[in-house]
């Protein structure tokens, strides 16, 4: 995940390793991807501490790709408070305290939810920001939040509410 300062101050290049888990799932690397940031986040003063509604970004792979046929696909969904509270949350990602390029997973109940954030004690570590917080419905995985913060007693992610969902759809187009 990138620090917000990087988005303005330093040109950088992304190299993505799709689906890596100790060994690479695919040899296809994605270089030169474009980073898309919600307008309000990109224009916010740097001393703005948190902008929960916009606290996410998108990495656009550019050319159409069929990588998902190898790595699998995530769905996105907007769920009600009750549906999220009753759901188990799953996170899979790349914690910085584990060997590089190894994917780790945890699942627990969701603690609470508000209009913009989802709170849980799913185990995470630095480096997992940006991972989907997802539930499994009929064997399909649907993200309802994007993991963002670690805390002493709870972790949290940016909730996929309708404006966030629409943003993702617009970016994907």
Partner 1 sequence: MANKISGVVLDAAGHPVAQARVYVVKAPGPAPDVAVLTGPDGRFALGAARSGTYEIACSTDHAGTASATVVVGAHDAVVELRLS
- In sequence order, what are the residues at sequence separation of 6 or more whose Cβ sits closer than 8 angstroms to the Cβ of residue 87? 79, 109, 110, 135, 144
The C-alpha atoms of residue 73 and residue 92 are separated, in whole angstroms, by: 14
Scanning 12-20, 24-32, 65-73, 92-100 for contacts with partner 1 by CB under 8 A, the matching segment is 92-100
| Residues 3-22, interacting with partner 1 (CB under 8 A) | 3-5
Q: Give the residue, chosen from 24, 40, 98, 109, that forms a contact with partner 1 under the rule CB under 8 A.
A: 98
Q: Is 82 in the site for partner 1 (CB under 8 A)?
A: no
Nearest to 71 by CA among 132, 20, 135: 20
Beta bridge pairs of residue 88: 109
The C-alpha atoms of residue 42 and residue 160 are separated, in whole angstroms, by: 19
Q: Is 37 in the site for partner 1 (CB under 8 A)?
A: no
The C-alpha atoms of residue 19 and residue 27 are separated, in whole angstroms, by: 10
Minimum CB separation of residue 13 from partner 1 in Å reads 13
Nearest to partner 1 of 64, 151 (CB atom): 151
Q: Give the residue, chosen from 15, 23, 27, 152, that forms a contact with partner 1 under the rule CB under 8 A.
A: 152
Q: Is 158 in the site for partner 1 (CB under 8 A)?
A: no
Q: Which residues bind partner 1 (CB under 8 A)?
A: 1-5, 46-50, 95-100, 124-129, 147-152, 155-156
């Amino acid at each position: 995940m990138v620090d917000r300062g990087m988005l303005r101050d330093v040109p950088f290049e992304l190299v993505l390793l799709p689906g890596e888990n100790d060994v690479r799932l695919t040899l296809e690397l994605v270089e030169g991807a474009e980073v898309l940031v919600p307008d309000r986040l990109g224009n916010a003063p740097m001393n703005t501490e948190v902008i929960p509604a916009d606290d996410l970004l998108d990495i656009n792979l550019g050319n159409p790709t069929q990588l998902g046929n190898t790595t699998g696909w995530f769905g996105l969904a907007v769920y009600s408070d009750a549906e999220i509270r009753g759901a188990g949350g799953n996170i899979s990602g790349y914690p910085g305290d584990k060997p590089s390029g190894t994917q780790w997973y945890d699942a627990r109940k969701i603690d609470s939810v508000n209009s913009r954030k989802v709170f849980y004690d799913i185990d995470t570590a630095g480096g997992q920001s940006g991972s989907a917080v997802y539930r499994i419905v009929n064997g399909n995985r649907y993200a309802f939040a994007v993991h963002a913060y670690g805390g002493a007693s709870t972790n949290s992610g940016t909730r996929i509410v309708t404006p966030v969902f629409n943003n993702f759809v617009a970016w994907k187009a």
